[in-house]
Structure 1
């Protein structure tokens, strides 16, 4: 068994232990995920980081304990107080994947979970809760900057290139590096050199919707 598979099994085991259940499906129910999703986590050896954070917020457990089995397994005797802490703001994680490859379609914009960010960090970074959403990356075209399965924080108030942005072209949601060229065209490129860049001419820019700038990355747990 690989180290990643072993680690995901151990994390789910600690989740069951913490909430006092013996069935993996009940772990998924507790986190708002399907039984199949939990099975997929175990089979591929990774768990989306937002579910680990959500679990720790709900139970008051330490993230170090959950992921690595280190230290005290509790960070608070009153997890509900921690969850309601006014020092934090919640950002919705949408149940859609942004393709860093050929593109994935929007099926529906359903909130699957929430991430919590400290308000003082948001203020230092010049971010505002109302402008923020999080989605998951699908594909490898932004490797090594972004990896398949990463969760990214998007600032919808920042839509002026240059940088890494979430964009919609037709029904496809993509994560790409954008650069505005001197002739008004838009260069759409990948950090993975396997993928060719695209140039969108000024007369076709109305086909592109810049959703927002990719500001923060949360990687997968292996």
Structure 2
């Protein structure tokens, strides 16, 4: 976290950018506050957290981007052919698939329903290849408190070797689980919610599982 990004001036700039505003007084009017408050955010380095949360609810923006300038900069847009890359951002496809964090969510086709933008600088720092990324949504509560129902998860399709939290197909179900390779070749499949039982897949049954990719990042409500 750099001081340059994590300060009131930078946050105010991003707020005005996402609202299409040029003047501080217009930003103040949007939030129903005195223009002096916006000045204080910039001059004193105050973090306007309540207003950032309000913008997140209004625009579907990421708090990571509003506060730090990293990750998603825009909400989901309508799909188009392929993924889009410009000098600053890459649009990663969001698939019409809910990865169950419970008993499993069945599907037939993985159709792209939209895209979300990620900063190219952030992708580089995280060691991610834009060509091997996908977004899916979580359904269920078995990964609480790591992942919550409705969260969006960025999956790195190039990383498929346990250990860690992975998206996987288990039979006809798409799930997100914590995987651990055991010394005997078995695969331990566990949930972060203690209400769910651990599963062990023995070597002779590993063909029933397809590891899709490593869950690298999540976006969702603040609890």
TM range (shorter): 0.5 to 0.7
Provide the residue aligned with 2:206 in structure 1. 205
Please tell me whether residue 52 in structure 1 is matched to residue 60 in structure 2.
yes
Provide the residue aligned with 2:148 in structure 1. 147
Contact 1:52–1:63 (8 Å) recurs in 2: no
Provide the residue aligned with 2:187 in structure 1. 186
Provide the residue aligned with 2:14 in structure 1. none
Q: What is the CA–CA distance in structure 2 between the aligned matches of 1:166 and 1:192, rounded to whole Å?
A: 16
Instruction: Answer with 142-151 or 86-95: which moved more.
Output: 86-95
Report the alpha carbon displacement of residue 103 of structure 1 after superposing the two structures with TM: 0.3
Larger radius of gyration: 2
Report the alpha carbon displacement of residue 209 of structure 1 after superposing the two structures with TM: 0.1
Q: What is the CA–CA distance in structure 2 between the aligned matches of 1:221 and 1:53, rounded to whole Å?
A: 12
Q: What is the CA–CA distance in structure 2 between the aligned matches of 1:53 and 1:175, rounded to whole Å?
A: 24
* Root mean square deviation of aligned Cα: 2.5
Q: What is the CA–CA distance in structure 1 between the aligned matches of 2:89 and 2:172, rounded to whole Å?
A: 33
| Matched residues, number | 151
Contact 1:132–1:154 (8 Å) recurs in 2: yes
Q: What is the CA–CA distance in structure 1 between the aligned matches of 2:197 and 2:120, rounded to whole Å?
A: 39
**SS of alignment partner, residue 137 of structure 2:** strand
Q: What is the CA–CA distance in structure 2 between the aligned matches of 1:109 and 1:53, rounded to whole Å?
A: 24
Contact 1:137–1:146 (8 Å) recurs in 2: yes
Report the alpha carbon displacement of residue 220 of structure 1 after superposing the two structures with TM: 3.0
Closer, same or farther: CA 121–187 of 1 in aligned 2, 3 Å? same
Report the alpha carbon displacement of residue 111 of structure 1 after superposing the two structures with TM: 1.1
**Which stretches of structure 1, 4 residues or more, deviate above 6 A after TM superposition?**
none
Closer, same or farther: CA 86–183 of 1 in aligned 2, 3 Å? same
**SS of alignment partner, residue 121 of structure 1:** helix
Provide the residue aligned with 2:130 in structure 1. 129
**TM-score when normalising by structure 1:** 0.63
Provide the residue aligned with 1:111 in structure 2. 112
Q: Which consecutive unaligned segments of at least 5 residues does structure 1 have?
A: 1-17, 19-47, 55-61, 65-82
Contact 2:85–2:91 (8 Å) recurs in 1: no
Q: What is the CA–CA distance in structure 1 between the aligned matches of 2:66 and 2:85, rounded to whole Å?
A: 18
- The 5 Å alignment of 1:62-141 reads 85-141=86-142
Q: What is the CA–CA distance in structure 2 between the aligned matches of 1:217 and 1:150, rounded to whole Å?
A: 7
Q: Which consecutive unaligned segments of at least 5 residues does structure 2 have?
A: 1-18, 20-55, 68-83
Q: What is the CA–CA distance in structure 2 between the aligned matches of 1:210 and 1:119, rounded to whole Å?
A: 26
